[in-house]
Structure 1
Amino acid sequence: MFIEIEPDSTVPIYLQLAQQIIEGVAKGTLKPGDSLPSVRSFAADLGMNMHTVNKAYHYLEEKEFIQIVQKKGVVIHEKGVRKATATDRQRLTKEMRPILAEALCLQLSQEDIELLVKEIILDLKEVK
């Protein structure tokens, strides 16, 4: 899996890392049970602070995308791909609302927004 961090982005580095891991799960390049590097190893590989990787891992663990198991390491959670709960839907609605509001302010039509979402989904499902 290739991780690309944009240091000048307004998105915090830990969140960029977490989002790319989630994208790997969505694309199927990371599957439940797959191992991820230790915090120390991943930080060294990416040239970043261990605390940043640790923060990303805890964020992912909280959302049940990874599981941190003593003496086994970090693995993609068996619930990494699952049916959304009502809580998941509420959280996603809250997170998507400002993005959709911005799209409307940029005068994108509902059809434009739907097309954009379809393009993103197709990209995520594309086998690479």
Structure 2
Amino acid sequence: MILNVDLASEVPIYQQLRDQIVEAIADGVLAEGSPLPATRTLAADFGINFHTVNKAYDLLRQEGLIRLNRKSGAVVTQTVADPPFPAEWTARARTLLAEAVARGLPADEVLTICRSILDSFDARKPEGTP
């Protein structure tokens, strides 16, 4: 897994890390049981504070996407959507879709983009997985 951090971005570094790890899970690059780099190692690689990596990992832990353990470190977990997730996700999706509409993207184009993104995740799933 290759992570990239844009230090000049308006998006906080911890959020960039969190988002890229979520995408790697969705892409199938990180499967259940996959270890993540140690926080200090990842921080040193990017030249950032290890608390920044901790914050990204803690968000992922709270979201149920990784498990943190003193011995094994951060490990991707089997995820099952908890009851409040669909409502939270729908609210975030609504905001993104509102941005697209506000910027004048036609509904057909928005749907095409959404389908393309979803299909890109499906294409990376190992055969035999639902």
Q: TM-score, normalised by structure 2?
A: 0.87
Any unmatched runs of 5+ in structure 2? 125-130
Shift of 1:66: 0.6
- 1:71 alignment counterpart: 71
Distance 2:25 2:105 in 1: 29
Distance 2:116 2:8 in 1: 26
When the two chains are superposed, the root-mean-square deviation of aligned CA atoms in Å is: 1.4
Return the match for 2:101 from 97, 104, 107. 104
Any unmatched runs of 5+ in structure 1? none
Shift of 1:85: 3.9
Distance 1:14 1:77 in 2: 20
- 1:21-75 deviations in Å (ceiling 9; x for gaps): 0111001110111111111111112221101100000000000111001222110
Runs of 4+ residues over 2 Å off in structure 1:
122-127
Q: Percent identity?
A: 35
- 1:93 alignment counterpart: 90
Distance 2:106 2:92 in 1: 20
- 1:57 alignment counterpart: 57
Q: What SS does structure 1 have at the residue aligned with 2:30?
A: coil
Matches within 5 A, 1:1-128: 1-79=1-79, 82=80, 84-127=81-124
Provide the aligned length of Structure 1 versus Structure 2: 124
